[in-house]
Structures are given as structure tokens and as C-alpha cells.
Chain A
Amino acid sequence: TQLLEQSPQFLSIQEGENLTVYCNSSSVFSSLQWYRQEPGEGPVLLVTVVTGGEVKKLKRLTFQFGDARKDSSLHITAAQPGDTGLYLCAGLFSGTYKYIFGTGTRLKVLA
């Protein structure tokens, strides 16, 4: 059972466009992370959000944790070809160190 659903699954956009990726669950997480993964490599951590309603910015990337800590979003402004990759959210259950990964969003930014 996949607890974290990401949407969209695939996204192909032109350079300069904006986009939002969603990560949704019926479960409450104590924290949530976003990763980007390149083909043949391990995931690289982008951000960790902990507090409900929290917003974090990383250059052109804006991350938000839902008020109820069940969902999160990643917004990219003025996407660039270098943003191409697989974006993964991962939720941490309270009282554990175990992260459960979302279904993934594959982004392709065309020059």
C-alpha cells in the first residue's frame, strides 16, 4: 500500500514555466522531506519540513507542509533544464526513523 501519492506522475514543460508538485496522504507525518534523484544515482535531500503550515524556500523552489501535516507541495518558479529529474517526497512517522517515499514525479524541462 502506497501511503504517499504524488501528482502529477510525469510533467514535461518548457524552460521558464512554473510548476507545482503535490504529495498527499491520509496519514499524519512528524516531518516530510523532498528529494531529487538523477538517473543511476541516490536521492539528494532538498528540504525537510517539520511544522504544519511551514513554508521553506530554496532559490526558485518553494516547499509547503500542510497544516494537518498530511500533505506537502513543491513549487518551482521559472524552471530550468537543470531541474529535470525525479522528485520524491518522503514522510516520517512519529516515533520512528522510518521514511516512506511517495510515488514520485518525473519532471523534464525542455530548453
Chain B
Amino acid sequence: GAVVSQHPSWVICKSGTSVKIECRSLDFQATTMFWYRQFPKQSLMLMATSNEGSKATYEQGVEKDKFLINHASLTLSTLTVTSAHPEDSSFYICSALDPSKNEQYFGPGTRLTVT
């Protein structure tokens, strides 16, 4: 199956700093990627849709100035958590849409801990 990678797999940062998470589609080009957030023992909540070459579309209640998304190429989308706070600690998961199969494939996730 298609492979989507995320980097880093886990990160610990201090409150007030910014953290960048990368999502890469390794064997297909993805014009659309998605960013999700998952709290412990809960389901995935869609944060935003990342579109290559254009601005991301954010879900209601998600602060676009806090969660900066850049889809710079057909294989890379980045999520930057700016001025992180402990409540931003979560499991962040991306997925990439393979347009040739109309299927989305998930990355392994990034665990962010803000101290």
C-alpha cells in the first residue's frame, strides 16, 4: 500500500515555542492532505485540509494563526504549532489523498508534548 511518513514521530517542547511537523507521501503525489488531532482514548478530529499551492481550509474552531499549514509541494505538507501551550499536547496525524485511487493513507502520527 501507499506510504505516508511523518516527522518527527514524537517531540517535547517548552511552552511558548513553535514546533513543525512534516507529512510526506512517499510513492504518490498528493494534491490534498489532511491534518487530524487525536486526544487520548478519543477519535480523530479533522483540523484542516491542506491543498498544494493554495491556502489550507480550516475546520470550525481551529485557529489558523496557531496551526500554520504549508503544502509546498505535491509530496510535502507541514503543520506548525505556534506558541505551543500544554493544552496543545496531543497526537497529530496526517493523511494524504492518492488521486489515482481516490483513497487516503494515514501517516504514523506525531506525539507532541508541551511542558
Contact = CB atoms under 8 A, between A and B. Distances in A.
A89 to B, nearest CB: 9
Contacts of A100: 46
B111 interface: yes
A88 B49 contact: no
Given A98-B49, A99-B34, A42 B93 contact: yes
A41 B6 CA distance: 11
B46 A88 contact: no
Chain B interface size range? 20 to 34
Contact of A42 (B49, B103, B109): B109
Chain A interface size range? 10 to 19
A78 interface: no
Interface of B: 1, 4, 6, 32, 34, 36, 41-46, 49, 91, 93, 95, 97, 103-109, 111
Interface of A: 35, 40-45, 48, 88, 90, 97-104, 106
Enumerate the 4 nearest inter-chain pairs by beta-carbon distance, A residue then B residue, closest first.
A42-B106, A104-B43, A101-B44, A42-B108
